[in-house]
Amino acid sequence: MKIAVLPGDGIGPEIVAQAVKVLDALRREGLNIELEQAPIGGAGYDAAGDPLPQTTLDLARAADAVLLGAVGGPQYDQLDRPLRPERGLLRIRKELNLFANLRPALLYPELASASTLKPEVVAGLDIMIVRELTGDIYFGQPRGIEMRGGERVGFNTMVYAESEVRRVAKVAFDISMKRGRKLCSVEKANVLECSELWKEVVIEVGRQYPEVELSHMYVDNAAMQLVRNPKQFDVIVTGNIFGDILSDEASMLSGSIGMLPSASLDLRNKGMYEPIHGSAPDIAGRDVANPLATMLSLGMMFRYTFADAAIADRIDGAVKRVIAQGLRTADIWTQGCERVSCSAMGDAVVGALG
């Protein structure tokens, strides 16, 4: 198993270091894991003048899976757009063709009080958002800012080819088959042609999955339903921009964005795994960040890319155990729990691997 480790910026290095502790522990058990680190984002810019240095991209291509921390920081906000950390992330997703982004939103019972929603609304929450990741308005052409009629005009293009919709819809239906067999496709077909096509193609793909109950929802309504009654959802499939927004919203249902992992997969289940939170520059380097989303991302790596459910279950189980033991980083701490540092949490997870 060759894993490219891309810590990135801000809290990225400290949270990734905790996941590497888990990999080291597995290696000591005899698992054949090769790790190689490379810079991305602001770190890539600092090292090579490029948020996705060629050597980093080559390493990621050669690896079976990529573990990423986070990118971005205020010191990079003034750079030209193509040099900004976020561009490195968008480019690696595109270059590796990681079109299917899996973002689970799962509530640990012990953390129900950390959610801003009433416990009865979120208790038992278990949603999987499948976000298309390499198309849509994120990559559509034309795009730019230009002078028109004496004023500046900014423009982007929302675009989906049916093949792009079809492949991500298939992933979502396949996942639905392994879960509650309920899939909700989210778009804005009442206004956008792009969404009209999206909906049509999802319905076509759905004919091959008669066991899955398919529904359709406009994105504005979906945003509302997610906070009104989130448990009505099992799997959600949606485009890049809607998925970006809805997955942040869904993450808050579970109390802390510091708890949620993600997987970004290509057609052959090669994947990049990253916590869905950002680089949190305000707390970087202070050993207080929550490494659990990164741990759970590692769990997803074993589940999806290495198809090793036993190890995935051990990692997920270790995370559950440390939470049950009452260990909490600052973001999820509540009265009566033990407040621990990022590195102490990492050690605890290693200890709880079983």
Q: Which residues are catalytic?
A: 138, 188, 220, 244, 248
The stretches of the chain forming alpha helices (DSSP H) are 12-28, 42-48, 54-62, 85-95, 119-122, 162-178, 193-206, 219-228, 240-253, 292-304, 309-324, 342-351
The answer to whether residue 6 forms part of the interface with ligand IPM (CB under 6 A) is no
Q: Which stretch binds ligand IPM (CB under 6 A): 82-90, 159-167, 298-306, 308-316?
A: 82-90
- 136 touches, from Mg ion, ligand IPM, none (C-beta below 5 to 8 Å by class): none
Nearest to 300 by CA among 331, 244, 261: 261
- Residues from 234 through 293 that contact ligand IPM (CB under 6 A): 244
Angle between helices 309-324 and 12-28 (to 10 degrees): 120
Select 103 or 328, whichever has its Cβ closest to Mg ion: 103
Q: Hey, how many other C-beta atoms are within 10 angstroms of the C-beta on 102?
A: 24
Of 89, 105, 186, 246, the residue at the interface with ligand IPM (CB under 6 A) is 89
Nearest to 37 by CA among 17, 22, 11, 15: 17
Select 164 or 244, whichever has its Cβ closest to Mg ion: 244
How long a stretch of residues is the chain? 354
Would you tell me which residues interact with Mg ion (CB under 5 A)? 244
Measured from the CB of residue 234, what is the shortest distance to ligand IPM in angstroms? 21
CB 164, CB 132: distance < 8 Å:
yes
The answer to whether residue 349 forms part of the interface with ligand IPM (CB under 6 A) is no
Peptide bond into 142 cis (omega under 30): yes
Beta pairing partners, 339: 328
The answer to whether residue 183 forms part of the interface with ligand IPM (CB under 6 A) is no
Select 121 or 159, whichever has its Cβ closest to ligand IPM: 159
Residue whose entry in the numeric block shows the structure tokens 């979120």 = 122
Q: Hey, how many other C-beta atoms are within 10 angstroms of the C-beta on 282?
A: 9
Measured from the CB of residue 327, what is the shortest distance to ligand IPM in angstroms? 27
Q: Which stretch binds ligand IPM (CB under 6 A): 74-82, 86-94, 121-129, 300-308?
A: 86-94
Measured from the CB of residue 201, what is the shortest distance to Mg ion in angstroms? 24
- 313 touches, from ligand IPM, Mg ion, none (C-beta below 5 to 8 Å by class): none
Q: How many helices (H) and strands (E) does the chain have?
A: 12, 14
Select 85 or 346, whichever has its Cβ closest to Mg ion: 85
- Residues from 90 through 149 that contact ligand IPM (CB under 6 A): 90
Q: Which residues bind ligand IPM (CB under 6 A)?
A: 86, 89-90, 244
